[in-house]
Structure 1
Amino acid sequence: MAFHDPTSELMADPYAVYARLREAGPVHRIAGTDGLPAWLVTRYDDVRQALADPRLSLDKRNAAPGGYRGLALPPALDANLLNMDPPDHTRIRRLVSRAFTPRRIAQLREPIRKTADQLLDAIGPHGRADLIVSYAAPLPINVICDLLGVAPEDRPDFRAWTDALVAPDPAEPSRAKEAVGGLLAFFTQLIARKRAEPADDLLSALIAVRDEKDRLSEDELMSLAFLILFAGYENTVHLIGNATLALLSHPDQMAALRAEPGRLGGAVEELARYDGPVPLAIRRFPTEDIAIGGVTIPAGETVLLSLAAAHRDPHRFTDPDRLDIDRDATGHLALGHGIHYCLGAPLARMETEIALAALLERFPGLTLDTPPGGLRWRPSMRSRGLISLPVRY
């Protein structure tokens, strides 16, 4: 099979590239997120099945020697669920689920709406704003910090750290290393403080699991806190930003939601399918030679499952390039599938629904403040998100 590097095309027009690849075949040999060869799976049925296939490991120790060369993190941040298979994955996920309860999530609904209103109050008088910087980014970081129990005065610039890790600047390679150091120091201090003064927050609950029952190692505890921050913040920023842009680009759909806000729950599912924050699922490594879409992939090679391509597969979603807030988007994979389904899915859904509801209520005349071609996207295959979203109202 010929080797193909679509990286630059994916930055410019991802859905057109994925459509071309999906139509050409179910599996392609491409340059992966680390620049090394990988196998890209493009069709919905294959992607969904692979997400739940136990032969596709997340553990980097199952990568072929000299193969995958992804993001390098120290053990204190790397011992997280995105690098684990059962039984460790099962043990840790069960422990987190017990701390990450529906009650804890439900308690955040009112604070999320209050934060959204405060952010919109701040930008309201100006008539124009960058909704990423002023709204989509600060809202999730406040939510995650409230969940973990990080006081407002102790919230550093998480956005700079996460940007440096997810979309590193080749011209400044030291930024990623600095970001890792900053995150390590922050969580070390935060965990020490929560040990000394536990409170009714998720991090205190996880520390209790670690210290009282000794079922989490120190690295696992630190890595969990990092993953909750990183995934809960990064993905939700892009989900809110992409959803807002999709509605601005489809005024009829936006008007329908304004008229009937009760449709927002279903709309969030369709918006996640239409332009989700994660084009590629976390890389996987076959533990044995495996056939996907009639293509045999050798054990240990890197497999990338394209959620973006799967979501536009016409064999699964009728007229998939059309945004339809009334579509039954059940079965979309934006939040995963199988044992690695996103633990924070209910929170991400709730945040996005509240963010959009507050925005649509506050600004009935909301429009883009730049030609669509002028929008800038993050230069990353891993995440699909806007650098800025200029609007006027």
Structure 2
Amino acid sequence: MTTEPVVELSDGLPVGEAVAAVSLGTPEYRTCPYPVYRSLREQAPVVALTTRHGVATYLITRYEDARAALSDPRIGKDMHEGIDLYHAVFGDTCDALDDNLLFADPPRHTRLRHIANKAFTPRHVKELRPRIEEIAGELLDRCPVDAPVDLMASFALPLPVMVICELLGIVGEERTEVLKWFGNVTRSRFSKDLAGDLAAAEQWLRTYFTAHIARTRAHPSDDFLSVLIETRHEEGALTDAELVSMMWVLLFAGHKTTTYQIGNAVFSLLSHPEQLHLLQESRELIPQAIEELVRFEGSVETSTFRYALEDLEIGGTAIPQGSLVQIAITSANRDPEKFEAPDTLDVTRKGLQSTHLGFGHGAHYCLGAPLARMELETALTTLLDRFPDMVLATPAPGGEEWLKGPFPAFRGLERLPVALDPSRTVDDWTEGSAASSD
């Protein structure tokens, strides 16, 4: 049994002897991390890192190790069990909102998941399709066709935001306020210099969610939140505090990952026109193409933090009890030991839904995966129907366009300039063009 050398996850610092001349903090890594992950899989498949929070963690990069770790009962998610470690990573003010099923272990996670599943039934999700299609059409109606449009701001972001907000009954001007304070949390959560901003945003959201739950309880409808509230008479029902944290995690997970995945999928297809042509010619390929697009360029680069409940060994590396563990999802999904020609986008690739790790694996498999798939399918179908000739505008996204923070677990685009109808597009891409798409 061996332990890989400790590696600094900091700009410009080499990964070390195990993967010489590789860095996990450079612009090159942000633009394309896959060569780094290839080196790690080959030479240091379970590597010790020091995160930018100053906390040691172990990063798992191979598929088989990753899949096993995602369902290993020796690796927990309830970070509150190691409260000092939790505060070192997330700060001191996030306890209430983070006390949700994303950071829970059995039996509590089992209870929370069971209740959430009552609202996220296949029937309920299926009933959302007409409304999702309507929202997608309305958003594209607003997009100019005579100038490049930033598809992230105009389509990829508002589509899942509007869907999840409607599911939670957050509408009108309230939605704008909620998203503003939500943005303050995501911007300041990992910055000690912004601790005051974070505390204020957390408090505002807790106060709003509490009041919104009370209003919904008094005047229930058929939305997701009402279904959750209606479980209050059942054994093990959600407390008000759990409802607040459930709203937070659904709002966060319900739009960030899908927003980035829509952008990643469109960018991948426009960068591989032969694959886009296949979808244009054979729309029945879209469901399996979505699985390939999630595998090829997923929006979740690494898993959320996990916590070693005991001393254990993964991939020949000793991981002491109390250590943080993260799984490099995008690395596992490019592992040649599992996927043939993994760096090739192939929308005809079959059998991915039960194998790729883009939606996780095990007890914490993404609760909203059916909804995310539906939103992705609707987004691609609507774009292909309305704008079959769309192309990347100039300049195409470069390294500076890929997001790596404040939540470094994500991989997505800051902007995605697209000419929806090249025959009618006359303006060059400018910042002004982006504003015109709002």
TM-score, length-normalised on structure 1?
A: 0.94
> Does 2:338 match 1:307?
no
> Does 2:414 match 1:390?
no
Query: Are the counterparts in 2 of residues 68 and 302 from structure 1 also a CA contact under 8 Å?
Result: no
The equivalences for 1:237-386 within 5 A come to: 237-328=259-350, 329-330=352-353, 331-369=355-393, 370-373=395-398, 376-380=401-405, 381-386=408-413
The equivalences for 1:77-88 within 5 A come to: 77-88=97-108
- Taking structure 1 as reference, are residues 363 and 80 closer, same or farther at Cα in structure 2, changes over 3 Å only? same
2:45 — aligned with what? 26
- Taking structure 1 as reference, are residues 99 and 374 closer, same or farther at Cα in structure 2, changes over 3 Å only? closer
- AA of the residue aligned to 1:185: T
- Taking structure 1 as reference, are residues 5 and 377 closer, same or farther at Cα in structure 2, changes over 3 Å only? same
Query: Are the counterparts in 2 of residues 164 and 175 from structure 1 also a CA contact under 8 Å?
Result: yes
Q: C-alpha deviations, 1:84-103, integer Å up to 9, x for none? A: 00000001111111122212
- Taking the aligned partners of 1:200 and 1:67, their CA distance within structure 2 comes to 36
- AA of the residue aligned to 2:398: G
- Taking the aligned partners of 2:399 and 2:48, their CA distance within structure 1 comes to 32
Specify every segment of 5 or more residues in structure 1 that has no aligned partner in the other structure, as ranges. none
- AA of the residue aligned to 2:327: L
* DSSP-derived class of the 1:123 partner: coil
- Taking the aligned partners of 1:200 and 1:54, their CA distance within structure 2 comes to 36
Q: C-alpha deviations, 1:247-300, integer Å up to 9, x for none? A: 111111111111111111000000000111111111111111000001110001
Specify every segment of 5 or more residues in structure 2 that has no aligned partner in the other structure, as ranges. 10-23, 421-438
- AA of the residue aligned to 1:4: V
Q: C-alpha deviations, 1:101-153, integer Å up to 9, x for none? A: 21211111000011000000000444321111100000001110121122234
The equivalences for 1:1-393 within 5 A come to: 1-6=4-9, 7-9=24-26, 10-32=29-51, 34-63=53-82, 69-72=88-91, 73-156=93-176, 159-166=179-186, 168=188, 170=191, 172=194, 174-210=196-232, 215-328=237-350, 329-330=352-353, 331-369=355-393, 370-373=395-398, 376-380=401-405, 381-393=408-420
- Taking structure 1 as reference, are residues 178 and 255 closer, same or farther at Cα in structure 2, changes over 3 Å only? farther
Deviates more, 1:96-105 or 1:85-94: 96-105
- Taking the aligned partners of 1:27 and 1:152, their CA distance within structure 2 comes to 47
- Taking structure 1 as reference, are residues 261 and 99 closer, same or farther at Cα in structure 2, changes over 3 Å only? same
- AA of the residue aligned to 1:348: A
- AA of the residue aligned to 1:384: R
Mark the structure with the bigger radius of gyration. 2
- Taking structure 1 as reference, are residues 323 and 167 closer, same or farther at Cα in structure 2, changes over 3 Å only? farther
- AA of the residue aligned to 1:365: D
- Taking structure 1 as reference, are residues 239 and 67 closer, same or farther at Cα in structure 2, changes over 3 Å only? closer
Query: Are the counterparts in 2 of residues 144 and 233 from structure 1 also a CA contact under 8 Å?
Result: yes
The structure 1 segments of at least 4 consecutive aligned residues displaced by more than 6 Å after TM superposition are: none
- Taking the aligned partners of 2:340 and 2:366, their CA distance within structure 1 comes to 26
Query: Are the counterparts in 2 of residues 75 and 219 from structure 1 also a CA contact under 8 Å?
Result: no
* DSSP-derived class of the 2:252 partner: helix
- Taking the aligned partners of 2:114 and 2:68, their CA distance within structure 1 comes to 23
* DSSP-derived class of the 1:277 partner: coil
- Taking the aligned partners of 1:376 and 1:187, their CA distance within structure 2 comes to 33
* DSSP-derived class of the 2:59 partner: strand
Number of equivalent positions: 393
> Percent same amino acid among aligned pairs?
42
Q: C-alpha deviations, 1:68-88, integer Å up to 9, x for none? A: 722245443122011100000
TM-score, length-normalised on structure 2?
A: 0.85
Shift of residue 361, structure 1, vs aligned partner: 1.4
